[in-house]
Structure 1
Amino acid sequence: MEIKLVKAIAGDVLLLHKVQTEAFQPILEKYLDYETNPANEPINRLFEKIQYSSFFKIIADEKCVGGIRIVTKNNSYWISPIFVLPQYQGRGIAQQAIRQVEQLFTKWDTWELQTIQQETGTCCLYEKLGYERTEFEQVVNDRMTLVGYKKTRNS
C-alpha cells in the first residue's frame, strides 16, 4: 500500500486529533499511561504541535490513516509521535512514512525516538529500519517502560 505524507495545517487539528486518539486508545487501555499517551493529549496541545513543528498526515486510500511529527533537538531529528489507525496497522505504512521523512530531512545525520519496550513488534519495526537501542530507559508504570532508539545515517 503506497502512502504519501502531507504537511498538516491548523485546519487539520480535528481530524488528526480523532485519528491520533483512535490509534493510541488500545495502547492507553493496555498500559494505563494516562500522563504520556497521546490518546489523552488535549486538542490545543496538538494544535500547537501542528503550528510549531513538522507534522504530517499519512494518507493511504485517499484518507488520513495516521500522522508523524518530526522535531529537532541537539542536532538530531526526533520522531515524536508516529501513529497509524488500528485497521491500517501491519501494512508497512509506518515503515514507509519513516523512510519518507528520513529522505525529507537531511540537515543532520542522527534520528532518535522513544517507544514502549513491551511493544516488541514496534521495536522490531525500528530495528528493521536500522535504529539501535540506546541506554535511555524510563519506567512509566508497572506495566510499561519507555526505551530509546537511535539511527545514524550511513551507518
Structure 2
Amino acid sequence: MSKPITLRIATNKDLAALHKIQVAAFMPLLIKYNDLETNPANEPIEKLANRIAETYSDYYVIYYGQNMAGGIRVVTRENNRARISPIYIHPVFQGKGIAQEVFKQIEQKYNKTQQWELDTIKQEKRNCDFYEKLGYSKTGLEVEINSEMTIIRYLKRTEKSRDS
C-alpha cells in the first residue's frame, strides 16, 4: 500500500528543509540547461522565505507518509484564477504518483478556481505530457531562456468555467 500524501502550509521553520529539497529537485535541470537566472536550484533561501510570507499565495509542504517530499505554491489571482509556481518533488520520491495526487488535492482545496496556469520547460517532454494528462493545454506563450531551453505556459479551465 502506498503512503498517504498530505499538504501542510509552510512556515519559516520549513525553510532550510524545503530549500534543500528545491535544490535537489531542480539541480538536474540546472546542470542540463545552465539557466542560472531562472532555475529554482539557484535561488537563495531568502526568495523562498519571501514566497512563504506572501499574502497573495499559499506555500505548502508536500508529505509522502512522514517524509517531507516537496513543495507547491499556489498564487491566487482575481476572477477565480490561480497559478502554480513552483511545484517540486525530491528526486527520491519522484515517480510515485505524488505530484498527481497533490494537483488533485490542490484543485479540491481551491474549488472556486476556474482557471489554473503554470509554466514548464518545453524540452522536458515528460513534464509536458504529465501536465497535459492532468488536463492542461499549451497557451502558445513561449519564452526562450537560452538556445537549449524554452519556457511554455499551460492553462487548465475547470468544469465551473466551462459551465458559465
Question: TM (normalized to structure 2)?
Answer: 0.91
Match of 2:125 in 1: 120
User: What residue is the counterpart of 1:73 in the other structure?
Assistant: 77
Partner of 1:64: 68
Q: C-alpha distance in 1, partners of 2:112/2:100?
A: 21
Shift of 1:17: 0.5
1:106 shift after superposition: 2.5
Could you tell me how far apart the structure 1 residues matched to 2:104 and 2:144 are?
A: 29
Shift of 1:74: 4.6
- Structure 1 distance, partners of 2:141, 2:76, is 18
Residue 36 of structure 1 is matched in structure 2 by: 38
SS at match of 1:11: helix
Give the structure with higher Rg (CA). 2
1:150 to 147, 152, 155: 155
CA distance in 1, matches of 2:82, 2:154: 12
Residue in structure 2 matching 1:111, options 105, 112, 116: 116
1:25 is paired with a residue whose SS is helix
Structure 1 window deviating more from structure 2 (39-48 vs 100-109): it is 100-109
Cα distance in structure 1, aligned partners of 2:39 and 2:136: 22
Q: Secondary structure at the match of 1:64?
A: strand
Which residue in 2 is equivalent to 1:97?
Answer: 102
Secondary structure of the corresponding residue to residue 39 of structure 1 = helix
C-alpha distance in structure 2 between counterparts of 1:108 and 1:67, whole Å: 20
Alignment partner of 1:12 is 2:14: yes
Aligned sequence identity (%): 46
Q: 1:72 Cα deviation (Å)? A: 2.0
Distance 1:33 1:73 in 2: 27
What's the TM-score once normalised by structure 1's chain length? 0.96
My pick for the range that moved more, 119-128 or 72-81, is 72-81
SS in 2 for 1:90: coil
Q: Output the CA distance in 2 between the equivalents of 1:69 and 1:131.
A: 17
Query: Can you list the C-alpha shifts for 1:81-120, whole angstroms capped at 9, x where unaligned?
Result: 0000112111111111111111111233000000000110
Counterpart of 2:66 in structure 1: which amino acid?
Answer: E
Report the number of matched residues.
Answer: 155
What is the deviation of 1:61? 3.0
